[in-house]
Amino acid sequence: MEAHRSDARWWHGATLYQVYVRSWLDTDGDGYGDLAGVIAKLDYLAWLGVDGIWLSPTMPSPDDDWGYDVCDYLGVHPELGTLDDLDRLIAEAAQRGMRILLDLVPNHTSTAHPWFADAISGPDSAHRGFYVWADPAPGGGPPNNWLDATGHSAWAFDEASGQYYLHNFLASQADLNWWEPGVHEAFREILRFWFDRGVAGFRIDVAHGLYKDAELRDDPPSAAGATDRLHSRFGLEPVYSANRPQAHSVFRDWRTIAEGYSPPRLLLGETWVAGLDRMAAFHGQGDELQLTFNFPFIFADFTAPALRGIVADTLAALPAGECPVWAASNHDISRFPSRWGGGDERKARLALLVLATLPGTFVLYYGDEIAMTDVDVPPALRRDRMTSGGLGAAGGRDRARSPMQWDAGPSAGFTAAGAVPWLPYGDHAARNVAAQREDPASVLRLCHDLIALRRAEFGGRIAGYRELPGPPGLWTYRVDGLLVAANFTGGPAALDGPVGPVVASSGHGVLDRGILAPWAGVITRPGSGRVS
């Protein structure tokens, strides 16, 4: 057994791993993964070298949005397990030197939550102020032009009261009103409840969206040409429906609570914002979120200029001493081997080599380590209501949520023989854990070795980083005593000067007499010492 690192900032230089619980391992044959399945695979995650495990939502929910529509913040979804199961998971992970993070959804609740059931009972109800209500527009209809995540009005009409309630996502996900002091106190209690049980922290859903404009002003049209998901929501820029500055006060409050525990609890924000300065602002002066997801990096083109430019700008934007986060996949977007590489394994290997050697915190999505790709989910089998209307021919978000590919058997090692998985399998014969663990040249073994190198070289701290000059398609940088060279082109690239002994590479034969193969990366040790 391995003890936890004593460093209070254990996430510095660490590797976090997102487990989408329903797709991880089904132990009771119902076609859905469960907490018992997470426990059953802890030894695998410990072998991989993971420091922390972020679980997709585990709280009770009607599953309109698969746990992101919470109806009880202090429980466990009965289809996933019990509080005892979660306690056991926390304890058994700790025995293996790993910590457990939960997914917290503070922007909205399910309309099945008791708070909302009370709120909708009448304008004078105790929890009416917990949600965002508004009268119809002067001419009738929704109060303003805000749109939800499906592209329709973000307002639902309540016949009984004659008012609308706000839902930035599905109509069954009512937005909380963070102008209401009672909401703040309720979430303080929620944080303490889980921290007291040994939860190491939270990934905070929609961290940028808690507060809404008090005047409910219309969102302005997106800037000309802005169609990406960071700048635009169906042609509108979410200036007033989200991204209000008052959210920072919430995270300063939560940070005080988190720092009251030993070791401090971790707050990792889903900061879905376009500007790196806006992302960095969620760190405050080192007194808000400790970690923030970097979506400009995630959605960047897979080119050396694009990625290295965002890395440089990120490190410049973050306050001194704050820790960057590097990830390429999650449950809301296309998997990186498909999005960045079109299924080309060379590109997946190159991406993992770069991600694992950048300073800060490295986050893997389940299956990234075997280069799982998107699955084309037929319309009849799609489960995600948010994107079932056809956002992407491959099946919206479902395409990146298919069952973990444990082996090449008929059930992919995910569930019992003959059981029907909640989503269809990908190509588990071509990519699975069992085969790759036995193959020293596999993507899985590469990922394992990169994580081990990361832990040995700069685990427990934020490594120094310095970009080195080179041709546009070659990204070369020093990270402490290592030199990383990544060729983001389809042709060979010559390295400039002596490179030192090779420590690791993205594949066999990538470096020959100073020439780096196409879509290949190499890590060398040109000399001792850390980057100043």
Pairing label, strands 493-494, 515-516: antiparallel
User: Do residues 479 and 504 touch, judged by C-beta distance below 8 A?
Assistant: no
CB atoms under 10 Å from CB of 394, counted, come to 16
Q: Which of 219, 270, 368, 480 is catalytic?
A: 270
The answer to whether 468 and 477 are in contact (CB under 8 A) is yes
Q: In the chain, helix, strand, coil percent, each to 5? A: 25, 15, 55
What residue type is assigned to position 440 of the chain? P
The DSSP symbol for 396 reads G
Q: Is position 270 annotated as part of the catalytic site?
A: yes
In 3-state terms, what secondary structure has residue 468? strand
Could you give the CA distance from residue 72 to residue 137 in angstroms, rounded to a whole number? 33
Active site annotation includes 85? no
| Residue partners of 450: CB distance under 8 A and separation at least 6 | 352, 353, 356, 357, 504
Residue among 34, 51, 175, 205 flagged as catalytic: 205
Sort 4 into a burial class: Cβ within 10 Å, 0-12 / 13-18 / 19+. Answer: middle
Q: Give the strand order in the sheet containing 155-158.
A: 133-134, 163-166, 155-158
- Residues with a known catalytic role: 205, 270
